[in-house]
C-alpha cells in the first residue's frame, strides 16, 4: 500500500471519529452532552407555536375537546370524531368534531360532523360502516357510514327527569363528510335510567348480528340488532364487579388472541369517573367471554389500561385494515381538565396505541404500546449500547429539548431513578423500586402545577407485580405538555400531563446499586402538523 493510500485511510478514520464525538461527548463525571441539530420545534403556522401545544399528539385547532368518538377506518382513512364545544375552551353544549388520518399520526381537521338538535346535545358514541346496507339507509353500491350516539336533553335533566339520555343515529353517504340525522330518533329510548349513554356498536361475525354495549349508571348493558335501527336488550354486566368509585362511562368490547397461543378472550373496557387509582378519571378493563349476548368473567381484581392520571374515555377502532386493535384515549382528567394552562384550545388525545393480550404470572394482561407508524417520525440523536451506573452516583445526559423526544433504555431489574429537569428548576421524576415492585411519577415540581389544587399534590405510585423479567425496558415519550411511559412493551403504561416552564434539557439517572444500562437512545420526534 503506497503512502498516498495510507494518508487517505488515516484521514477517513479521523473524520469518522470526529463525527462521532461531535454527536455526543462524555466527560469523566459520566456526563453526556448531545449536540443536536434539532432545536425546539417551530412550525410554520402560528397555532402550533402556542405554549404547551403538542407537536405529535392530536389537538383541536381551537376550543374545547374531550372523549374520542366514532373511531372507524374506511377506504384508506382513519376517522377520529370527538366531543367538541366550538365556542369556548371549557366544556359546553357537545358536538362531534371530526379529523381524518392516513397513518394514525398526521391528522387533517374536518368540519364539525354532528350538531345538537331538539332532542339534545350530542354525547359520546361510535361509528361503523354498514357494508351490507342492513339499515337500508344507503345502497349496496354506496353503503352508509353509521354513527350511534347519546342524546342528552338538558331541559329534561334540569326538570329532574330520568329519561334525559337516549341513543340516536346519524348516517353519511359521502364517507363521513356530511351527516343526516335519522328521522326516527331516538333508536333506543330510556324511561328509568339517569345515566344511559356512550353506545359502542360493532358487527359480530360470529353471530352475524350487530352488537352494542352502553353504560347505565353502575353497569353495562348489551343489545343486538339486524339493521342498526331496531335494538333488542340482551343482558347486563358489572353491578357487583370492578371499580365503582364513580359513574361508568365509554364502554368498548372486542376479542383478542392471547399471546402466541390459540386461546382467544374478550376484553371489556369501562371508564370510570371518579375512582381511578391516582384520583379522578381512569379506564378499567375486564377479560372474559362473550357469546354475542352476555359477557362473563372470572376476574376478581381491578385492572387499569393505564396507571397514569391522564388517559380517559379511550375506545378502539372498528374495521381496521389489518385487524389490529387500535386505541385512543383522551389525555386529561375531569379533576382539572377545565383548568389546564392553555389559552386557545384545551385537551389532547393520547398517541394511538396497539392493544394486545398476554399472560403474565398466569394472569391476563392487556398490553398497550404506540402504533408502529410513530417510528417514521423518529430521528436518531444519540445511542449507546451500554452505560455503567455506579451505586448512588449520577449519570447525566444533556439534550436541547427532551420535550419532543423518545428516550429508550433497558435496565437490570434493580432500583432506577430518572429526573428530567431544566434551568428553570423544574423537575419531573420517574422511579422504579425493584424491591417493593412499585413505579412512581412525581410531577409536583414539573413546571406549572398550581392551576388546580389536586394536579401537583401527590406522587403517583403504582404496584407493578407483572415486572417479572431480569431486565426492564423503558420507552419514554415526551411532548410539549405530556409524558407517556411504557414498561416491558406495554405491560404497564403511564400517561401524565406536564407543563414545564421551559423544555427539559437534562436527564439525570441514578441507581442504589451498581448496574448496567443497555440500548440507550434518544430520538427526536418530528412534528405532525405538516403533510407526511
Structurally, how many domains does the chain consist of?
Answer: 2
| 394 shares its domain with 271 | no
User: In angstroms, what CA-CA distances link 103 with 206, 321, 460?
Assistant: 29, 12, 33
313-334 pLDDT, tens per residue? 999 999 999 889 999 999 999 9
For residue 210, give the nearest of 258, 269, 169 by alpha carbon: 169
Instruction: Give backbone dihedrals phi and psi of 15, rounded to 5 degrees, phi first.
Output: -65, -40
C-alpha cell at 497: 400531563
CA angle 349, 49, 56 (to 5 degrees): 30
Q: Is residue 2 part of a domain?
A: no
| 331 shares its domain with 385 | no
pLDDT of residue 43: 39
Taking the alpha carbons at both ends of the chain, their separation in whole angstroms is: 48
Q: Is residue 67 annotated as a catalytic residue, yes or no?
A: yes
In eight-state DSSP terms, residue 229 is S
The DSSP line for 177-215 is SS-EE-TT--SB--SS-SSEEEEEEEEETTTTEEEEEEE
| 211 shares its domain with 306 | yes
pLDDT of residue 532: 40
pLDDT of residue 191: 83
The DSSP line for 210-254 is EEEEEEESSSEEEEEESSSSS-EEEEEE-TTSS--SSEEEEEEEE
Query: Where residue 486 sits, what CATH number does that domain have?
Result: 2.60.120.560
Range of the domain at 114: 55-338+346-370
Q: Is residue 100 part of a domain?
A: yes
Q: What is the dihedral of CA 96, 98, 104, 105, to 10 degrees?
A: -110
Q: Is residue 11 part of a domain?
A: no
Instruction: Give backbone dihedrals phi and psi of 376, rounded to 5 degrees, phi first.
Output: -70, -15
d(Cα 449, Cα 443) in Å, to the nearest integer? 8
d(Cα 499, Cα 443) in Å, to the nearest integer? 9
Which one is catalytic: 35, 43, 67, 177?
67
Q: Is residue 12 part of a domain?
A: no
Q: Is residue 140 part of a domain?
A: yes
> Grid coordinates 339486524 are at which residue?
226
The answer to whether residues 495 and 482 touch, using CB atoms and an 8 Å cutoff, is: yes
Q: Sign of torsion, CA 88 90 94 98?
A: positive
pLDDT of residue 47: 60
C-alpha cell at 455: 394536579
439-485 pLDDT, tens per residue? 999 999 999 999 999 999 999 999 999 999 999 999 999 999 999 99
| 141 shares its domain with 101 | yes
| 218 shares its domain with 196 | yes
Helix/strand/coil for 3: helix
Whole-prediction pTM = 0.93
| 333 shares its domain with 386 | no
d(Cα 58, Cα 66) in Å, to the nearest integer? 11
CA atoms within 13 A of residue 163's CA, in its CB half-sphere: 7
| 111 shares its domain with 71 | yes
Q: Is residue 240 part of a domain?
A: yes
| 322 shares its domain with 430 | no
Q: 152-163: string of b/e by CB count within 10 Å (b at 16+)?
A: bbeebbeeeeeb
Q: Is the peptide bond before 186 cis (omega within 30 degrees of 0)?
A: yes
121 contacts: CB under 8 Å, gap ≥ 6: 93, 94, 151, 152, 153, 154
The helix or strand, by DSSP H or E, that contains position 288, with its residue range, turns out to be strand 282-290
| 33 shares its domain with 60 | no
Q: Is residue 148 part of a domain?
A: yes
The DSSP line for 414-442 is S-EEEEEE-TT--EEEEEEETTTTEEEEE
Low-confidence ranges of the chain (pLDDT < 70): 1-29, 35-47, 530-532
Query: Where residue 177 sits, what CATH number does that domain have?
Result: 2.115.10.20
d(Cα 42, Cα 465) in Å, to the nearest integer? 41
The DSSP line for 132-193 is T-TTSSS-SSSPPEEEEEEEE-HHHHHTT-S--EEEEEEEESSTTSS-EE-TT--SB--SS-
| 414 shares its domain with 316 | no
d(Cα 177, Cα 129) in Å, to the nearest integer? 14
pLDDT of residue 495: 98
Q: Is residue 358 part of a domain?
A: yes
pLDDT of residue 17: 39
d(Cα 332, Cα 329) in Å, to the nearest integer? 9
| 395 shares its domain with 356 | no
| 280 shares its domain with 429 | no
Amino acid at each position: 500500500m503506497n503512502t498516498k493510500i495510507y494518508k487517505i485511510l488515516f484521514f477517513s478514520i479521523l473524520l469518522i471519529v470526529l463525527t462521532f464525538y461531535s454527536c455526543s461527548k462524555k466527560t469523566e463525571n459520566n456526563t453526556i452532552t448531545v449536540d443536536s441539530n434539532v432545536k425546539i420545534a417551530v412550525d410554520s403556522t402560528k397555532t402550533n407555536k402556542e405554549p404547551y401545544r403538542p407537536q405529535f399528539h392530536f389537538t383541536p385547532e381551537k376550543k374545547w375537546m374531550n372523549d374520542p368518538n366514532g373511531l372507524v377506518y374506511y377506504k384508506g382513512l382513519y376517522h377520529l370524531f370527538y366531543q367538541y364545544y366550538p365556542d369556548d375552551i371549557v366544556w359546553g353544549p357537545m358536538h362531534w368534531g371530526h379529523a381524518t388520518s392516513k397513518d394514525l399520526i398526521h391528522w387533517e381537521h374536518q368540519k364539525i360532523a354532528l350538531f345538537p338538535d331538539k332532542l339534545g346535545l350530542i354525547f359520546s358514541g361510535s361509528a361503523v360502516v354498514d357494508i351490507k346496507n342492513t339499515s337500508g339507509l344507503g345502497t349496496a353500491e354506496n353503503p352508509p357510514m353509521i354513527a350511534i350516539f347519546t342524546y342528552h336533553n338538558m331541559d329534561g335533566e334540569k326538570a329532574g327527569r330520568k329519561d334525559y339520555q337516549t341513543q340516536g343515529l346519524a348516517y353519511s353517504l359521502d364517507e363521513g363528510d356530511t351527516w343526516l340525522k335519522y328521522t326516527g330518533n331516538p333508536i333506543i329510548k330510556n324511561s328509568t335510567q339517569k345515566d344511559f349513554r356512550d353506545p359502542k356498536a360493532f358487527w359480530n361475525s360470529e353471530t352475524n348480528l350487530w352488537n352494542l354495549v352502553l353504560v347505565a349508571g353502575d353497569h353495562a348493558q348489551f343489545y343486538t340488532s339486524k339493521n342498526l335501527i331496531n335494538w333488542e336488550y340482551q343482558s347486563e354486566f358489572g353491578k357487583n364487579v370492578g371499580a365503582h368509585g364513580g359513574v361508568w362511562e365509554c364502554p368498548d368490547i372486542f376479542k383478542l388472541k392471547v399471546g402466541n397461543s390459540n386461546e382467544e378472550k374478550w376484553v371489556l373496557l369501562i371508564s370510570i369517573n371518579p375512582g381511578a387509582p391516582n384520583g379522578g378519571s381512569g379506564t378499567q378493563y375486564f377479560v372474559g367471554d362473550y357469546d354475542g349476548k352476555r359477557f362473563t368473567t372470572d376476574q376478581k381484581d381491578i385492572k387499569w389500561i393505564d396507571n397514569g392520571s391522564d388517559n380517559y374515555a379511550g375506545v378502539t377502532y372498528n374495521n381496521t385494515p389489518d385487524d389490529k386493535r387500535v386505541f385512543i384515549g383522551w389525555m386529561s382528567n375531569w379533576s382539572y381538565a377545565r383548568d389546564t394552562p392553555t389559552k386557545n384550545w384545551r385537551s389532547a388525545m393520547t398517541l394511538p396505541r396497539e392493544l394486545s393480550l398476554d399472560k403474565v404470572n398466569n394472569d391476563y394482561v392487556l398490553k398497550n404500546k404506540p402504533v408502529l407508524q410513530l417510528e417514521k417520525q423518529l430521528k436518531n440523536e444519540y445511542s449507546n449500547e451500554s452505560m455503567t451506573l455506579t451505586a448512588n452516583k449520577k449519570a447525566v445526559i444533556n439534550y436541547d429539548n427532551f420535550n419532543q423526544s423518545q428516550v429508550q433504555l433497558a435496565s437490570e431489574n434493580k432500583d432506577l431513578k430518572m429526573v428530567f429537569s431544566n434551568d428553570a428548576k423544574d423537575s419531573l421524576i420517574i422511579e422504579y423500586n425493584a424491591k417493593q415492585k412499585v413505579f412512581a411519577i412525581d410531577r409536583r415540581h414539573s413546571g406549572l402545577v398550581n392551576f388546580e389544587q389536586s394536579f401537583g399534590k401527590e406522587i403517583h405510585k403504582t404496584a407493578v407485580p407483572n415486572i417479572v423479567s431480569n431486565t426492564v425496558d423503558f420507552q419514554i415519550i415526551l411532548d410539549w405538555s405530556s409524558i407517556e411511559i411504557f414498561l416491558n412493551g406495554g405491560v404497564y403504561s403511564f400517561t401524565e400531563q406536564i407543563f414545564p416552564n421551559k423544555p427539559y434539557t437534562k436527564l439525570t439517572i441514578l441507581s442504589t446499586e451498581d448496574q448496567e444500562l443497555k440500548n440507550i437512545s434518544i430520538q427526536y420526534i418530528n412534528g405532525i402538523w405538516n403533510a407526511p
